[in-house]
Amino acid sequence: MRKSLFLICVLGFTCASWGQSGRASWANLSTLHAGQKIQIVDVKLKTHSGTFVSVSDAAISYQDSAGEQTVQKSDVGSVKLMKSKHRLRNTLIGGLVGAGAGAGITAASWEKHGFLGGRGVGTEVGAVIGFLGGTVVGVLLSSH
């Protein structure tokens, strides 16, 4: 059994590694347009954020509050395009999912004659608590 599990894990890691791209992905940076917000993480895990200026075979340039900055290709760990934040959308989705989950859980577990009333009241209480929890999660979701 252990040998089979080990074999599955090894094969799974091998298949997952096929999806990783190498340094050839540097060419993908040519699709960026000047003025787009980017985040660069260098090989020392330091984060650089700003607006994209240009990219060459040797470096990527961006503009931040201190002026135009350049990071050499050999120092770049990753580049992320910072999309517009969808905080309101994420908040609403999180709240609605939380309300549904809270209502379902309390409807299933609430006693017929609970301390506040019947299952209907329990469902409402669970929906409110779930909505509040889901809203917090929705606000905190990353949007890039």
What pLDDT, in 10s, does the model give residues 92-115? Answer: 898 999 999 988 888 888 777 666
Contacts of 129 (CB under 8 A, 6+ apart): 102
Angle between helices 87-109 and 119-140 (to 10 degrees): 150
Range of the domain at 34: 16-81
Examine the domain organization and report whether 30 and 63 are in the same domain.
Answer: yes
Residue 18 predicted with pLDDT over 50: no
Alpha helix (H) ranges present in 19-118? 87-109
What's the number of domains the chain is made of? 2
Q: Which of 81, 107, 125 is the last residue of a domain?
A: 81
132 within domain boundaries: yes
Amino acid at 30: S
What pLDDT shows up at residue 55? 93
Find the helix or strand (DSSP H, E) in which 41 lies.
Answer: strand 37-42
Examine the domain organization and report whether 74 and 95 are in the same domain.
Answer: no
Residue 11 predicted with pLDDT over 60: no
pLDDT band at 17 (very low <50, low <70, confident <90, very high): very low
Examine the domain organization and report whether 73 and 26 are in the same domain.
Answer: yes
3 within domain boundaries: no
